[in-house]
Amino acid sequence: MRMSTYFLPTLKETPSEAQIVSHRLMLRAGMIRQTSAGIYAWLPLGWKVLQKVAQIVREEQDRAGAQELLMPTIQSAELWKQSGRYDAYGKEMLRITDRHDREMLFGPTNEEMITDIVKTFVKSYKDLPKNLYHIQWKFRDEVRPRFGVMRGREFLMKDNYSFDLDAEGARLSYRRMFLAYLRTFARMGIKAIPMRADTGPIGGDLSHEFIILAETGESQVFCDKKWLELDVLADNPDANGDLKDFFAKYTSVYAATEEMHDAANCPVPAEQLETARGIEVGHIFYFGTKYSAPMGAVVTGPDGQPVTVEMGSYGIGVSRVVAALIEASHDDAGIIWPDQVAPFKVALINLKADDEACRSTCDDLYAKLNAAGVEVIYDDRNERPGAKFADMDLIGIPWQLTVGPRGLKAGTVELKRRATGEKLELSLEEALAKVTA
């Protein structure tokens, strides 16, 4: 993508409404634009990151055996009345009436709808287990939306739901998603720590929040420093195998939110306890028959008798993860994207756009990077070098490949690693080999 044609409305000044780092940088980097309170348009750069995050989520859901579908955003109030949540949910639910005076709502979550779908088609124990997910926009009418996409009213969420014949099977589904979540966040280059959590309005008796440690996190969290040494991708059982030992290992290492932490009875020695701020990016629940019983999700069991199915639900705030990544990885100059979710891998910077040698070299590098499948943003603008460097630091591209007249005379280009600031003077061939490796 050439900067001269790319829609990237970066800002030099921080908008007055931005209160936290991710909100400030997402606005300044031209990733989002607020359209009304708590609702944002995702501009091309932000949309690319959002898609990268969603794709990693999707791949790990598929790997864990979940199947993707898509449910509508508008739901019938009748389903929620069956479960008993219509009146209990509160003012965060946007209730609407269509032209036929039917009560509808803009879905904040999908337990009722997916239960209704499954009970319609799944009639026998032979049809279980099932795990269905989608990645879809949700709406919750926050009384005071703030912090940009961190706590907006409209947000992109991955939510999935497991259906099992009995509690044992349901807990296996829960452990499978527990592993999938750890893998998902590890693949994004971040460590999300599962912490035993309150089930809240979703219900149930088993729940974990997945928390990213960040200085600007919304809540205080406590964890054993052993967590910072664990390597989920290396210590990885088969997602379809027996996960009891894995689950036991990862839940036995102490981690708690402020509400769940009991300082007087904490099992971790003070010198081993990490106290930090945290951001919730995922939440999983096992709630048994809370929804299946009132909504009649029943199958015929092996003995011919009716069995109410056991359920769990699992959410990742996909749009919230984007903000959390920035909160966890930035500096004074801007965003520092992990390679796995960066909108582009390489920023190709032409220091002198009106110089024929610089232009032809950059055009050739651009073509070769594209041919190698490397996502590259090419700053071909007739701008001052300082402005180009500032923009590329702001938007956080992992590698900056800079071409200038002086370097070309010496047969070199400069390659900078955004995360560390390390700069290397390399030949064209060496630089290409490094960023395409």
Convert the pLDDT of each residue in 297-310 to its tens digit: 999 999 999 999 99
Q: Whose structure tokens read 């709406």?
A: 139
For residues 330 and 351, membership in a common domain is answered with: no
Structure-block tokens of residue 314 = 């699992």
For residues 204 and 366, the model is more confident at 366
Sign of the torsion formed by the C-alpha atoms of 271, 277, 283 and 288: positive
Residue 139 predicted with pLDDT over 90: yes
CA 176 to each of CA 138, 170, 200, 242, 292: distance values in angstroms, whole numbers, following the listed order = 25, 10, 22, 9, 21
How many Å apart are CA 427 and CA 411, to the nearest integer? Answer: 6
Please report the pLDDT score of residue 203 as a whole number: 55
Secondary structure of residue 114 in the 3-state scheme: helix
Q: How many domains does the chain have?
A: 2
For residues 201 and 228, membership in a common domain is answered with: yes
Contact 64, 180 (CB under 8 A): yes
Mean pLDDT computed over 124-138: 97
Mean pLDDT computed over 217-245: 85
| 16 falls within a domain | no
Secondary structure of residue 354 in the 3-state scheme: coil
For residue 5, with 0-12 CB atoms within 10 Å meaning exposed, 13-18 middle and 19 or more buried, which class applies? exposed
State phi, psi for 183 to the nearest 5 degrees.
Answer: -65, -40
Please report the pLDDT score of residue 242 as a whole number: 73
Please report the pLDDT score of residue 205 as a whole number: 67
For residues 329 and 368, membership in a common domain is answered with: no
Please report the pLDDT score of residue 233 as a whole number: 87
| CATH number of the domain where residue 350 is located | 3.40.50.800
| 418 falls within a domain | yes
Domain boundary among 304, 335, 366: 335
CA 420 to each of CA 77, 347, 394, 432: distance values in angstroms, whole numbers, following the listed order = 52, 15, 14, 19
- Proportion of the chain above pLDDT 90, given as a percent: 84
Residue numbers of the domain that contains 52: 21-335
| 2 falls within a domain | no
Contact 385, 414 (CB under 8 A): no
Mean pLDDT computed over 210-237: 88
| 1 falls within a domain | no
What is the residue type of 54?
A
Contact 223, 193 (CB under 8 A): yes
Contact 194, 181 (CB under 8 A): yes
Residue 202 predicted with pLDDT over 80: no
For residues 246 and 388, membership in a common domain is answered with: no
Radius of gyration of the chain (CA): 24
Going by pLDDT thresholds of 50, 70 and 90, the confidence category of residue 432 is very high
Render pLDDT for 76-110 as a digit per residue (tens, 0 to 9).
999 999 999 999 898 999 999 999 999 999 999 99
Query: Of 4, 17, 135, 45, which Cα lies nearest the Cα of 395?
Result: 45
Mean pLDDT computed over 280-292: 94
Render pLDDT for 29-70 as a digit per residue (tens, 0 to 9).
999 999 999 999 999 999 999 999 999 999 999 999 999 999
Residue 200 predicted with pLDDT over 80: no
Buried b (16+ CB within 10 A) or exposed e, 289-306: bbbbebbebbbeeeeeee
For residues 153 and 292, membership in a common domain is answered with: yes
How many Å apart are CA 11 and CA 27, to the nearest integer? Answer: 7
Residue 268 predicted with pLDDT over 60: yes
CA 276 to each of CA 150, 163, 189, 193: distance values in angstroms, whole numbers, following the listed order = 18, 36, 19, 12
